[in-house]
Amino acid sequence: MTDISPLASPFPDLPPISGVRIAVSRAGYKAWDRADLTYVALDAGTVVAGVTTQSKCPSPEVEWCRAALLLGEARALVVNAGNSNAFTGNRGRAAVEAIAARVAGSVGCKPSGVFVASTGVIGVPLPIDKAEAGIDAALAAPEASWQEAAAAISTTDTFPKGAVTTAIVGGKTVTLAGIIKGSGMIAPDMATMLGFVFTDAAIAPGLLQRMLDEANAETFSCITVDGDTSTSDTVLAFATGRAGNAALAHEDDAGADAFQAALTDLCRQLAQLVVRDGEGARKFITVTVEGAETDRSAHRIALSIANSPLVKTAIAGEDANWGRVVMAVGKAGEPAERDKLAIRFGATQVAENGLAVEGYDEAPVAAHLKGDEVEIGVDLGLGDGRATVWTCDLTHGYISINADYRS
Amino acid sequence: MTDISPLASPFPDLPPISGVRIAVSRAGYKAWDRADLTYVALDAGTVVAGVTTQSKCPSPEVEWCRAALLLGEARALVVNAGNSNAFTGNRGRAAVEAIAARVAGSVGCKPSGVFVASTGVIGVPLPIDKAEAGIDAALAAPEASWQEAAAAISTTDTFPKGAVTTAIVGGKTVTLAGIIKGSGMIAPDMATMLGFVFTDAAIAPGLLQRMLDEANAETFSCITVDGDTSTSDTVLAFATGRAGNAALAHEDDAGADAFQAALTDLCRQLAQLVVRDGEGARKFITVTVEGAETDRSAHRIALSIANSPLVKTAIAGEDANWGRVVMAVGKAGEPAERDKLAIRFGATQVAENGLAVEGYDEAPVAAHLKGDEVEIGVDLGLGDGRATVWTCDLTHGYISINADYRS
CA distances from B279 to A143, A189, A311, B11, B127 (A): 51, 29, 15, 19, 28
Q: Measure in Å the smallest separation between the Cα of A400 and chain B Cα atoms.
A: 8
Q: Which residues of B touch A326 (CB under 8 A)?
A: 57, 86-87, 122-123, 231
Tell me the catalytic residues of A: 192
Per the model's pLDDT, the better-predicted residue between B58 and B127 turns out to be B127
Q: In percent, how much of chain A has pLDDT > 70?
A: 95
Nearest to A356 among B123, B227, B332 (CB): B123
Nearest to B55 among A87, A91, A331 (CB): A331
Q: What is the pLDDT of residue B185?
A: 63
The response to whether B155 counts as a known ligand-binding position is: yes
d(CA B201, CA B209): 14
d(CA B119, CA B180): 12
Helices (H) and strands (E) in chain A, counts: 11, 16
B116 touches chain A (CB under 8 A): no
**pLDDT classification of A330: cutoffs 50, 70, 90:** confident
- Any alpha helices (H) in A128-219, and if so which ranges? 128-139, 146-152, 205-218
Q: What is the pLDDT of residue B45?
A: 93
Nearest to A122 among B323, B337, B399 (CB): B323
Pick the CATH number of A284-404 from 3.10.20.340, 1.10.300.10, 3.30.70.260, 3.30.465.10: 3.10.20.340
A173 touches chain B (CB under 8 A): no
Q: What is the pLDDT of residue A192?
A: 42
Burial readout B337-354 (b: 16 or more C-beta within 10 A, e: otherwise): ebeebbbbbbebbbbbeb
B370 touches chain A (CB under 8 A): no
- Strand segments (E) across A10-109: 20-25, 37-42, 47-52, 76-83
The response to whether A63 counts as a known ligand-binding position is: no
The response to whether A30 counts as a known ligand-binding position is: no
Q: What is the pLDDT of residue B188?
A: 41
Q: Which residues of A touch B343 (CB under 8 A)?
A: none
Lowest mean pLDDT among A54-58, A217-221, A274-278: A54-58
The candidate with the shortest Cα–Cα distance to A174, out of A235, A247, A115, A236, is A247
Domain with CATH 3.60.70.12 in chain A: 20-276
CB-side neighbour CA atoms (13 Å) of A320: 23
Residues A240 and A191: beta-carbon distance below 8 Å? no
Whether B399 sits inside 8 A of A404 (CB atoms) is: no
Q: What is the pLDDT of residue B157?
A: 85
- CA-based nearest residue in chain B for residue A225: B309
| Three-class DSSP category at A6 | coil
Whether B407 sits inside 8 A of A323 (CB atoms) is: yes
∠ CA B64-B67-B70, rounded to 5°: 145
Angle between helices B396-404 and A309-316 (to 10 degrees): 70
A380 touches chain B (CB under 8 A): no
Q: What is the pLDDT of residue A189?
A: 41
Q: Encode pLDDT of A1-51 as tens digits.
A: 468 888 888 999 999 999 999 999 999 999 999 999 999 999 999 999 888
- CA-based nearest residue in chain A for residue B63: A338
B187 touches chain A (CB under 8 A): yes
Residues 6+ apart with CB under 8 A from A300: A332, A333, A334
Q: What is the pLDDT of residue B4?
A: 87
Whether B355 sits inside 8 A of A87 (CB atoms) is: yes
Q: In percent, how much of chain B has pLDDT > 70?
A: 95
Q: Which of A169-178, A180-189, A231-240 has the highest mean pLDDT?
A: A169-178
Q: Measure in Å the smallest separation between the Cα of A323 and chain B Cα atoms.
A: 5
Tell me the catalytic residues of B: 192
**pLDDT classification of B230: cutoffs 50, 70, 90:** low
- CA-based nearest residue in chain B for residue A54: B331
d(CA A247, CA B200): 80
The response to whether B216 counts as a known ligand-binding position is: no
- ipTM exceeding 0.90, yes/no: no
d(CA A146, CA A38): 10
Per the model's pLDDT, the better-predicted residue between A337 and B235 turns out to be A337
Residues 6+ apart with CB under 8 A from B152: B24, B34, B35, B36, B37, B38, B79, B81, B144
Q: What is the pLDDT of residue B191?
A: 36
| Three-class DSSP category at A9 | coil
Q: Measure in Å the smallest separation between the Cα of B319 and chain A Cα atoms.
A: 6
Nearest to B404 among A229, A317, A353 (CB): A317
Predicted confidence (pLDDT) at residue B228 exceeds the cutoff of 80:
no
d(CA B148, CA B101): 25
Residues B274 and B192: beta-carbon distance below 8 Å? yes
CA distances from B326 to A316, B299, B333, B345 (A): 29, 16, 13, 13
Question: Under CATH, what is the fold of the domain B20-276?
Answer: L-amino peptidase D-ALA esterase/amidase (3.60.70)
Per the model's pLDDT, the better-predicted residue between A354 and A102 turns out to be A102
Whether A228 sits inside 8 A of B327 (CB atoms) is: yes
Lowest mean pLDDT among A119-133, A271-285, B27-41, B278-292: A271-285
Quickly count: other Cβ atoms within 10 Å of residue A201's Cβ.
30
**pLDDT classification of A406: cutoffs 50, 70, 90:** low
**pLDDT classification of B132: cutoffs 50, 70, 90:** very high
**pLDDT classification of A407: cutoffs 50, 70, 90:** very low
Mean pLDDT of chain A: 89
d(CA A170, CA A253): 9
Q: What is the pLDDT of residue A405?
A: 54
One-letter amino acid identity for B198?
F
Q: Measure in Å the smallest separation between the Cα of B151 and chain A Cα atoms.
A: 24
Per the model's pLDDT, the better-predicted residue between B136 and A217 turns out to be B136
Domain with CATH 3.10.20.340 in chain B: 284-404
Quickly count: other Cβ atoms within 10 Å of residue A171's Cβ.
10
Residue A199 pairs with which residues in a beta bridge?
A176, A239
Q: Which residues of B touch A279 (CB under 8 A)?
A: none
B317 touches chain A (CB under 8 A): yes
Q: In percent, how much of chain B has pLDDT > 90?
A: 60
| Three-class DSSP category at A342 | strand
CA distances from A135 to A36, A132, B327 (A): 11, 5, 28
Mean pLDDT of chain B: 89
Whether B407 sits inside 8 A of A356 (CB atoms) is: no
Predicted confidence (pLDDT) at residue B1 exceeds the cutoff of 80:
no
The candidate with the shortest Cα–Cα distance to A198, out of A48, A310, A320, A347, is A48
Whether A58 sits inside 8 A of B123 (CB atoms) is: no
Nearest to A403 among B313, B330, B351 (CB): B313
DSSP for A263-294 reads HHHHHHHHHHHHHHT-TT---EEEEEEEEESS
Q: Which residues of A touch B354 (CB under 8 A)?
A: 87, 89
Is the backbone of residue B63 left (phi > 0), alpha (psi -120 to 50) or beta? alpha
Predicted confidence (pLDDT) at residue B186 exceeds the cutoff of 70:
no
| Strands A172-181 and A161-169, bridge-based pairing | antiparallel
d(CA A257, CA B236): 58
